[in-house]
Amino acid sequence: MTTTTTEPISTRDRERLIRAAIEAKNGSYSPYSKFRVGAALLTPDGQIIKGANVENASYGGTICAERTAVVKAVSEGIRSFVALAVNTDVAQPLAPCGICRQVIREFCALDMSILLVPAGYESDGNSAGLLEMTVEKLLPLSFGPEALELPRPG
């Protein structure tokens, strides 16, 4: 599943996905860091699943926006994705943390687009500053489900 090539997405879907990531930030529960993050996943049939970061008084219990989106989708039976967008209130594109990169790697193709949307995008609607990455660029030489299928001599 993760080795298949991802189809390019339309300009309209790309814009819908970016808007959804910005909207998703409204669901953030971040009383401790006051750092809101929104994420949105696009499926092959055009469905969008949003996620926000959910913090905990026991800080280690915090769940990032990206993992919220992936877990929401997968637990509803949706396991195929064509793009992910992430938005914060910071005026530069911020990339998912290491734990989220590994969780994304489990379900998304290595060439899947990850759109890092800076805060400025909201006000001017300008795509300047948006950074487009892929799973592989964010997590090179990654360990994935296929590794468990490789031959083990002896």
Ligand X SMILES: O=c1ccn([C@H]2C[C@H](O)[C@@H](CO)O2)c(=O)[nH]1
Q: Distance between CA atoms of 84 and 49, rounded to whole angstroms?
A: 10
Cross-strand bridge partners of residue 48: 42
Cβ at position 28, least distance to ligand X in Å: 7
Cβ at position 107, least distance to ligand X in Å: 16
Question: Which tokens belong to 113?
Answer: 């687009």
Residue found under tokens 């991802």: 6
Of 66, 136, 146, 149, which one is the catalytic site residue?
66
Task: For residue 57, give Cα distances in angstroms to 2, 67, 73, 118, 125.
Answer: 35, 19, 26, 28, 35
Closer of 91 and 97 to Zn ion (Cβ):
97
Residues of span 90-109 touching Zn ion by CB under 5 A: 97, 100
Parallel/antiparallel/unpaired status of strands 113-117 and 48-52:
unpaired
Choosing from 30, 43, 80, 134, the residue that interacts with ligand X (CB under 6 A) is 30
Q: Catalytic residue at 66?
A: yes
21 in Cβ contact with 57 (< 8 Å): no
Question: Which tokens belong to 26?
Answer: 């409204």
The answer to whether residue 70 forms part of the interface with ligand X (CB under 6 A) is no
The answer to whether residue 90 forms part of the interface with ligand X (CB under 6 A) is no
The answer to whether residue 87 forms part of the interface with ligand X (CB under 6 A) is no
Residues classed as catalytic: 66
Q: Which residues lie near ligand X (CB under 6 A)?
A: 30, 33, 35, 37, 53, 55, 62, 64-66, 96-97, 100
Q: Which residues lie near Zn ion (CB under 5 A)?
A: 64, 97, 100
